Structure 1
Amino acid sequence: MRRFSLATVLVATVALSGCDRPPEEDIAAQPPTPPQTTDQSLELATDSGTPLESRRGEWRDALRALLAGPDADTLATADSRWRDLYDAFNRHYLTLAAQACAGDRLAVLQRLDAWPLYPAYVDALPAWPDSGIVNDPALELTGASLRRQQGATTDGEVALGFQPIRLLIAGAEGAPRQAKDLRAGAKAESDEPAAALRERRRTYLQLAADQLQADLNALDRDGDLTLTSLRCALETLDDRLASLRTHRQATAPEEGLYIPSVSVKILDATQPATALAQLSADANRDARAALEEGYPGFQTALDQAVEEDSWAPIGEWLHAHGGAP
C-alpha cells in the first residue's frame, strides 16, 4: 500500500504556488453573515474551568521550548500541553461551534480537529517509511501549501489541526516520536539526509501550530449569536458525536483511517457532558427559552439527556425539528 507517497500522488494533483499568505488571510472565503431580522440575538455563557486562552499560551511556550531544545523532558511537556489544550478545546466546543456558525466559519472549526485521518499522509510509519508530507521534499512547506493539502483528494487527508500536530510531536501507536526526530542540524555529512527530514518536520510542526492559533483566533468572538447559530452549533456537535461513534475503534494507525486513542479518551471525558452542563446552566436560561420557543420540545429533550447522561435525546429532538424556526 503506497497511497501516501506524496511525491507520486499529491504533487501530481495539487498545484503549488510560489508565495504564501499569513494563515489569517485564508480563514474564510465569505464575510460573517449578519443575523436575520427575525432571528433572536442570544448569549451563551461558558464555565469550563481553565480558560482556553490560558491553555493556548501554555502550549505555545511548550512548543517553543521543544523546538529550541528537543529532549525527553521538552517532548513530554509538549505532549502534556497538547493534551491540556485539546481538552480545553473540547470543553469549549459548543461555544466555538456557535461562533463558527454565526460567522460562517464552520470550515475553520472542521480544520481545527478533522478526524479520522490517514497518519501516513503526515509522516512516515514503519509500514510506509518514505511517505507523508514530511518525507516529500518536492512539496514546498508553507502555510498555503499545507492548507491546500487539507482534504486534497479525500477527507482522510488531514494536514492541519490538532491531530497532525500530535502525530508530529508524539507519533502514533506503535511508532512513538523520539526527541532526536525533532533536532536541528546534522551531526556529520552522512547525517545530512536525515537532518533535512528533521528540519522539514520542525518546519511543518511550526506551520501547523501557527495555523491552529490563527483558526482559534478566528472563532474567538463575542456576541453575534442567534437562535439559528445556536441550533447550528447543536447540529454540528451532534454530527461530531455520531462520527465518534462510527470511528472510535480506528486506533490502529496502519489499518487505514485513524484516530489516536488519547483523542478518543479526551473526547469521551468532555463530550457530551460539558455541552449538557453548559446548556443546563442558570446563565443560559434565556438561550434555553429561545430554543424551546423556536423548536418546541427542546427543554424536555435536554432534561432527559441530563437525566440519562446521554446525548441521544438531543439528537432525536434535532432530527425531529429540521426546519427553521
Structure 2
Amino acid sequence: MTPRVRLAAALIAAAAALSGCDRPEEDGVAARPPATPESADASLALSTDSAAPLANRRDHWRDALRALLADPGADTLAAADAGWRDLYDAFNRHYLTLAAHACVAERQPVLQRLDAWPLYPAYVDALPAWPDSGIVNDPALELTGASLRRQQGATADGEVALGFQPIRLLIAGAEGAPRQAKDLRAEGDEPAAALRERRRTYLKLAADQLQADLNALHRDDGLSLTSLRCALETLDDRLAALQTHRQATAPEEGLYIPSVSVEILESTQPAAALAQLSADANGDARAALESGYPGFQTALDQAVEEDSWAPLGEWLHAHGG
C-alpha cells in the first residue's frame, strides 16, 4: 500500500459522474434477488435474548454521533466513543442472527462490509509515520457514499473504507495516535480546515452506510436449515480470523485491528452464540440442525460444557464446512 491514496484519472472521472449516487446502499446488490425454494420454504427462527438490544444501541450511537458533529468537544467525543463500543458489543452479541439473515437473503457482502478486519489504518486517515496518508488526506477523491463503497477492498482486502473499524479510527484514532476533538472541527486556517471537514464528511457517510447495512440485515424473513448452517460457518470463519490476527494491534506495522475491537470480540464470542444456540426458545432450530446435520447437538453440548467453539468447529469441518 502506498502511503497516500491516489486514483487513476478514469476512476476520478467515474466518481464525478456518479457524484449524485451517494445514498447509502442497503442491499449490497442492484436489486433484491428473486425468491428461491430455499427462502420460500423458510420457517425457522433464531431468537436472541440479549441485554444489549441492537436497535436501542443503534439509536444511542446515532444520537451521540450527531452531538459530536454538532459540537466537537472532549465530552461529545468520549460519548461517541462509548456509543461505538456499546453498538459494536451489541452487534457481536447479535452476530449469529445477522449472519443467518445475510445467508438467507444472499447479503454476505453486506455483513462483511459492516466489520471487515484486519485493515490498513493509513488507508483511512493519517498516522504519525504517514502524515499525509489516507482517504481523508486525498483531495483528489470525491467523498460520496458511492466513492467510499468503491474504495472498499479496491485492490486488497486490507483496504477497508467502511464499517465499524474505519469509524473507530475516525472518532478515536489508533493506538499511539488518539483522536482530538479539534480534529473534527471545521475551523482554522487552510488547508487544516478543509482536511477536518473531509474527516467530518467521511465520518457521516460511513455512519450512514453502517446504519443502512444494519437495516438490510435486520429482517423478519424466516430462516432455513441451510441459512442456519451457513451462519455457523460464517461465525466459524470469523473466529478463525480472530485467532490469526488478534495480535495485529500495532497500527504502523501493516494490517491492524484495534485492541478495543479484539477485547469486545473476545468478550462476546463465542459465548453469545453458544448461549443463543442453547436457549429454550431455539429448540426448533436445534432440532432442525440435528436432523439435517447429525451430530450437531452433541457438538453443541460439548462446546457449552467446555466453553469453547472448538467442538462445533470440528463438527462443521467434519461435515463439509
User: Shorter-chain TM-score category?
Assistant: over 0.9
| In 2, Cα distance between equivalents of 1:231 and 1:49 | 25
Q: Structure 1 residues 4, 307: CA separation in 2 closer, same or farther (over 3 Å shift)?
A: same
Q: Structure 1 residues 21, 37: CA separation in 2 closer, same or farther (over 3 Å shift)?
A: closer
| In 2, Cα distance between equivalents of 1:56 and 1:179 | 22
Q: Which amino acid aligns with 2:311?
A: P
Once the 2 structures are TM-superposed, how far is the Cα of residue 24 of structure 1 from its aligned partner?
3.2
Q: Which amino acid aligns with 1:4?
A: P
1:205-220 alignment, distance < 5 Å: 205-220=203-218
User: Does the CA-based 8 Å contact 1:91-1:274 persist in structure 2?
Assistant: yes
Say whether residues 1:23 and 2:21 are aligned partners. no
Once the 2 structures are TM-superposed, how far is the Cα of residue 12 of structure 1 from its aligned partner?
5.6
1:280-307 Cα deviation digits (max 9, x unpaired): 0000011001000100000000000000
Q: Structure 1 residues 288, 102: CA separation in 2 closer, same or farther (over 3 Å shift)?
A: same
User: Does the CA-based 8 Å contact 1:30-1:104 persist in structure 2?
Assistant: no
Moved more, 244-253 or 43-52: 43-52
Q: Structure 1 residues 38, 89: CA separation in 2 closer, same or farther (over 3 Å shift)?
A: closer
CA RMSD of superposed structures (Å):
1.6
Moved more, 239-248 or 34-43: 34-43
Give the corresponding residue for 2:183: 181
User: Does the CA-based 8 Å contact 2:42-2:222 persist in structure 1?
Assistant: no
1:151-190 alignment, distance < 5 Å: 151-186=153-188
User: Does the CA-based 8 Å contact 2:145-2:205 persist in structure 1?
Assistant: yes
Q: Report the secondary structure of 1:153's partner residue.
A: coil
1:160-212 Cα deviation digits (max 9, x unpaired): 000000000000000000000000233xxxx1100000000000000000000
Give the corresponding residue for 2:296: 298
User: Does the CA-based 8 Å contact 2:26-2:216 persist in structure 1?
Assistant: no
Q: Which of 56, 59, 62 in structure 1 is aligned with 2:58?
A: 56
Give the corresponding residue for 1:101: 103
Q: What runs of 5+ residues in structure 1 fail to find an aligned partner?
A: none
| In 1, Cα distance between equivalents of 2:212 and 2:4 | 29
1:19-55 Cα deviation digits (max 9, x unpaired): 3242136632452443428966211111011210000
1:55-79 Cα deviation digits (max 9, x unpaired): 0000000000000110100000000
Q: Report the secondary structure of 2:25's partner residue.
A: helix
Number of residue pairs matched by the alignment? 316
Q: Which of 104, 125, 128 in structure 2 is aligned with 1:126?
A: 128
| In 2, Cα distance between equivalents of 1:274 and 1:13 | 46
| In 1, Cα distance between equivalents of 2:175 and 2:267 | 20
Q: Which amino acid aligns with 1:317?
A: W
1:76-121 Cα deviation digits (max 9, x unpaired): 0000000000000000000000000011100000000000000000
Q: Which of 223, 226, 231 in structure 2 is aligned with 1:225?
A: 223
Once the 2 structures are TM-superposed, how far is the Cα of residue 4 of structure 1 from its aligned partner?
3.1
Q: Structure 1 residues 25, 214: CA separation in 2 closer, same or farther (over 3 Å shift)?
A: closer
Q: What runs of 5+ residues in structure 2 fail to find an aligned partner?
A: none
| In 2, Cα distance between equivalents of 1:219 and 1:38 | 18
Moved more, 70-79 or 314-323: 314-323
Q: Report the secondary structure of 2:203's partner residue.
A: helix
User: Does the CA-based 8 Å contact 1:39-1:228 persist in structure 2?
Assistant: no
Give the corresponding residue for 1:312: 310
1:241-292 Cα deviation digits (max 9, x unpaired): 0000000000000000000000000000000000000000000011001000
User: Does the CA-based 8 Å contact 1:43-1:287 persist in structure 2?
Assistant: yes
User: Does the CA-based 8 Å contact 1:115-1:158 persist in structure 2?
Assistant: yes
Give the corresponding residue for 1:278: 276
Q: Structure 1 residues 5, 251: CA separation in 2 closer, same or farther (over 3 Å shift)?
A: same
Identical columns (%): 80
User: Does the CA-based 8 Å contact 2:3-2:122 persist in structure 1?
Assistant: yes
| In 2, Cα distance between equivalents of 1:183 and 1:256 | 29
Q: Structure 1 residues 37, 273: CA separation in 2 closer, same or farther (over 3 Å shift)?
A: closer
Q: Structure 1 residues 302, 70: CA separation in 2 closer, same or farther (over 3 Å shift)?
A: same
